A = this chain, B = another copy of it.
Amino acid sequence: MRTIPIPEGSPFGLANLPYGVFSTSGTAPRVGVRVGDSVVDLARALGDDVFARPTLNAFMAQGYERWGEVRRRITELVSGGGVPEDAVFAVDAVTLHLPIEVADYVDFYASEHHASNLGRLFRPDAEPLMPNWKHLPVGYHGRAGTVVLSGTGIVRPRGQRKGEGAPTFGESRRLDIEAEMGFIVGAGSPLGTPIGCADFGRHVFGAVLVNDWSARDIQAWEYVPLGPFLGKSFATSISAWVVPLPALEHARVPTPPQDPEPLPYLREASPWGLDIDLAVEWNGEVVSRPPYREMYWSPAQMLAHMTVNGASARTGDLYASGTISGPGPDQRGAFIELTWGGKEPIKVNGRERTFLEDGDEVVISATAPGPDGVRIGFGDVRGRVLPARD
């Protein structure tokens, strides 16, 4: 048995305990929990085979009470110095894997600042927000099969782009990011039974960082009338560590005022806005600090909306917030906004930049307030752009 050192001020202390899937050389992927700079092998530490799986899904499917029980047991083991020696690995010495098997992937559009900016850019002659925007969390389904782990190389997509008269075909020239938070459904719901806002915490297991890579030229040509498709479906990256919902208790804040008042099924008795600070690094330089607390719609409202028509939710459903943009010009979570459609380049490492070039790396990180002044860390979601393939 041993004690796990937790560096002073670590964003992965006892108040966090995020889950991931890891392997070591020659061993199968399995569930671990991150403590400081270590990973605890949960199948070994708790002697439960539900963690000897290549994703979190089997554990998540056990439900809310069980999540609480395991979190308490891990806290006891770690704080009591009772973790078996052979269950502890240095985080730098393990390989991380996609933590969940994604069931359905939905992407929302919950930032008023982002939706307004995109409206101005894509539809300059119309009102920036559509008439429905303040009445419901606008969202759409994305491609679950191309959700990839942080660190996966992002091959520049090819596709149709609007041309003079006829479209042209080729590699995207306006490759962009979207800095988002993602919420993972652990416990599903049967067909025909909506999940009310108040039941958010019983269904959602935790949160990850999301980079919803976007090819703006492909998107702008294809998206009418059925929405984004190939401009998004080539890759969506998520962070490796799933921060459990209870770790975000201290980050709970009200959403910004919602006016007009939402319909009853979208009203929340207790606030589930989240005070999460993101940072977007472009080739090592921070170019934006999107504040999650500015999001108009809360994660609980998104889930309530997604299921109000009776759609079932499943273990492994991932829904993302949409790009997080604050009111300030340096709080925008997509380059199309930061550079105003590419017309106002920003300086990155001394060079004027608009969209992504081959070889560029983007790293999105985030922390949230925890108890006693500590920060809860999400780690990061990163990706490097690889050249288009012939």
Chain A interface residues toward B at CB < 8 A: 103-105, 109, 119, 122-123, 130, 132, 135-136, 138-146, 148, 155, 157-160, 166-167, 169, 191-194, 215, 218, 221-231, 233-235, 260, 263-265, 305-306, 308-314, 317, 389
Contact = CB atoms under 8 A, between A and B. Distances in A.
B157 A227 contact: no
17 contacts: A104-B145, A122-B225, A132-B221, A132-B222, A141-B233, A145-B313, A155-B191, A157-B310, A158-B194, A159-B308, A169-B263, A191-B235, A223-B225, A223-B226, A227-B228, A234-B310, A310-B389
Contacts of A146: 191, 311-312
A263 B132 contact: no
B263 A226 contact: no
Given A135-B166, A309-B215, A109 B148 contact: no
A310 B104 contact: no
Contacts of A169: 263-265
A110 to B, nearest CB: 12
B225 A309 contact: no
Nearest to A103: B145
A296 to B, nearest CB: 15
A123 B226 CA distance: 13
B145 A311 contact: yes
Q: Which of A136, A228, A231, A309 has the most CB of B within 10 A?
A: A309
Nearest to A168: B263
Given A104-B145, A145-B104, A145-B317, A227 B309 contact: no
Contacts of A132: 160, 167, 221-222, 224
B305 A230 contact: yes
A38 to B, nearest CB: 31
A76 to B, nearest CB: 36
A245 to B, nearest CB: 21
Given A143-B141, A215-B309, A192 B155 contact: yes
B310 A158 contact: yes
A225 B308 contact: no
A186 to B, nearest CB: 15
A196 to B, nearest CB: 13
Contact of A229 (B139, B221, B264): B139
Given A109-B226, A169-B264, A309-B215, A160 B136 contact: yes
Given A136-B222, A222-B136, A225-B223, A312 B191 contact: no
A310 to B, nearest CB: 5
A167 B135 contact: yes
Which residue, of A142, A160, A215, A389, has the highest number of chain B Cβ atoms within 10 A? Answer: A160
Contacts of A264: 169
A265 B390 CA distance: 12
A192 B145 CA distance: 12
A215 to B, nearest CB: 7
